[in-house]
């Protein structure tokens, strides 16, 4: 059992390849997901989360065959999100070895899906992902469908509703800071973490290892990140990295 917050590489699936985005757009190709997962295996990551960023927009179910292949290569606990709209899909993903299902648009539109999923596979296996933008007035708003559709809803209310429905974890993602590597939105993390009892996973903005600790200090139980683990240098060359256990212990000390 870890004596520190979890650190989770967040991998974005587009088609059959992995990409990294900025503010949910400008995808940069990283490589084959199976190969990237193998590298993270060697680096003994805490967990991985794989999000298919076009499934919902394309009204497409999860690519079970590809996900099965990725699961077979992955030694770390693996979460999957993207295109999940039914309890049957949730059950199938858990049956092929996915540790946690990550539900976004469908959960927010239909909280009963969260209820039913938690009843069948357990709350510990159900994560609701909440994508948030900051408005011009400085308030926060939840978006669905890969950041394309406004809900006109506040992230605190959505997070509390998802918790009541049975979500065992909330993945809170800043659309504005995605891929920007300027640090997490700590105000957003504090605001939501202070209102829920379940673990909160912060995502969006990490640019250096210290940012992971700042997210934890703001109330996150875990820090998810993409760019910091897949890019190197100012030119953002693709290089898969992950801090070793000593580095992580030092960061969170």
Instruction: List the catalytic residues.
Output: 131
Pair type for strands 200-203 and 169-174: parallel
Residue at token pair 């858990």: 94
Report DSSP state, residue 123.
Answer: G
Distance CA 45, CA 53 (A): 22
Distance CA 24, CA 1 (A): 33
Question: In the numeric block, which tokens belong to residue 243?
Answer: 């801090």
Question: In the numeric block, which tokens belong to residue 149?
Answer: 């559709």
Contact 104, 56 (CB under 8 A): yes
Contact 173, 204 (CB under 8 A): yes
Distance CA 76, CA 45 (A): 7
Question: In the numeric block, which tokens belong to residue 99?
Answer: 């540790």
Where does the chain have alpha helices with state H?
33-42, 64-73, 87-95, 105-109, 111-121, 155-165, 186-193, 209-217, 227-230, 245-251
């Amino acid at each position: 059992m870890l004596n520190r917050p979890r650190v989770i590489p967040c991998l974005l699936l587009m088609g059959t390849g992995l990409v990294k985005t900025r503010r949910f757009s400008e995808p940069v190709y990283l490589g084959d997901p199976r190969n990237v997962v193998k590298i993270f295996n060697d680096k003994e990551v805490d967990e991985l989360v794989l999000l298919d960023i076009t499934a919902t927009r394309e009204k497409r179910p999860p690519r079970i065959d590809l996900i099965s292949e990725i699961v077979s290569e992955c030694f770390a606990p693996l979460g999957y999100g993207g295109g999940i709209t039914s309890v049957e899909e949730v059950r199938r993903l858990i049956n092929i070895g996915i540790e946690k299902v990550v539900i976004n648009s469908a959960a927010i539109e239909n909280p009963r899906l969260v209820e039913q999923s938690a009843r069948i596979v357990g709350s510990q296996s159900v994560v609701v992902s909440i994508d948030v933008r900051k408005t011009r007035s400085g308030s926060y708003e939840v978006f669905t469908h890969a950041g394309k559709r406004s809900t006109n809803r506040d992230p605190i209310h959505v997070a509390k509703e998802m918790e009541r429905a049975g979500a065992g974890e909330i993945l809170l993602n800043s659309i504005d800071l995605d891929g920007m590597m300027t640090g997490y939105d700590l105000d957003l993390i504090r605001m939501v973490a202070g209102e829920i009892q379940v673990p909160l996973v912060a995502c969006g903005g990490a640019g250096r290892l210290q940012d992971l600790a700042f997210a934890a200090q703001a109330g996150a139980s875990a820090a998810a990140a993409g760019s910091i683990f897949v890019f190197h240098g100012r030119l953002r060359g693709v290089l898969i990295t992950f801090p070793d256990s000593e580095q992580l212990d030092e960061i969170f000390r």
